[in-house]
Amino acid sequence: MRETLRAVPDDGHSRRRVMPFGVPDIDSQLTDGGLRLDALHEVAAATPSLRDDAAATLFVAGVAARAWGPILWVVRRRDLFAPALAQSGLTAKRVIHAEADDDAGVLALMEEGLRHPALGAVIGEVRRASPAATKRVQQAAARGRTVALLLKRPARGSGDPLAVSSSAATRWRIGSVPMVGTARPRWEVTLARQSDGAPFAATAIACDDTGRLAPVVTRREQRRAVSEILRVTPTAEEQAEAA
């Protein structure tokens, strides 16, 4: 993997420190007004269901898609479905895959990847991560000013994937919201923990093909927006008079 990463050119891109989600209900409650891009963030599915697991994976892919440059994704088995990731803006040509034998190997490869300045994000999938291991990954992310995303899968015989303490700057649970129709899915985005901030929950529209979430607009807000448009739009008679 080292040879592969050395071959990735560093374009000298100036890195921003924080990436807003663009959803006021989320950004306004985050301590930094968005997701820190020099830190470790943990993400888990709200339940063990395949629907929630997919939502958590696509949430991570959406964050990575909005980071510049190549993305290192470390797994224990290569089962990523590229077309699904592309729905969240993360195209296959940007992803460098790496495989490890166990969780410890995943975390070690994440640390290695975070030392390379040419990467935009480093993602790892694990079932278990010790507090000491997450501290090392967090420190590597801070030194390299690269966002690290740890996707926590439920371990056999255990319940909450986020039960063990962690040095991650934020810890998220992502769940799908049942919907009828073909509109973009909605997710229940729960921040279980953040440094120097309170936990919260918000509903957002799932990532589009650029990796961006969208705020949920209620019917009342839609009607208000339409009323504002109608109020400021001149009638045909007014337009004729102005001409």
| CATH number for position 55 | 3.40.50.300
Question: pTM for this one?
Answer: 0.85
190 belongs to a structural domain: yes
Between CA 213 and CA 34 the distance in angstroms is: 12
Q: How confident is the model at residue 226 (pLDDT cuts 50, 70, 90)?
A: very low
- Which of 141, 110, 140 is CA-nearest to residue 126? 110
224 belongs to a structural domain: no
The 10s digit of each residue's pLDDT in 147-170 is 999 999 987 766 789 999 999 999
38 belongs to a structural domain: yes
Neighbouring residues of 115: CB distance < 8 A, sequence distance ≥ 6: 140, 143, 144
Look at the chain and report how many structural domains it folds into: 1
231 belongs to a structural domain: no
CA distances from 161 to 23, 43, 104, 213 (A): 26, 9, 16, 24
Between CA 38 and CA 49 the distance in angstroms is: 31
At what angle are helices 103-114 and 131-144 packed, to 10 degrees? 20
Between CA 88 and CA 214 the distance in angstroms is: 12
151 belongs to a structural domain: yes
The least confident of 68-72, 132-136, 138-142, 177-181 is 177-181
26 belongs to a structural domain: yes
Between CA 113 and CA 69 the distance in angstroms is: 13
239 belongs to a structural domain: no
Asked if residue 243 has pLDDT above 60, the reply is: no
237 belongs to a structural domain: no
- What's the domain range around 42? 2-8+15-216
The 10s digit of each residue's pLDDT in 68-124 is 889 999 998 877 778 889 999 999 999 999 999 999 999 999 999 999 888 999 999
Between CA 102 and CA 194 the distance in angstroms is: 27
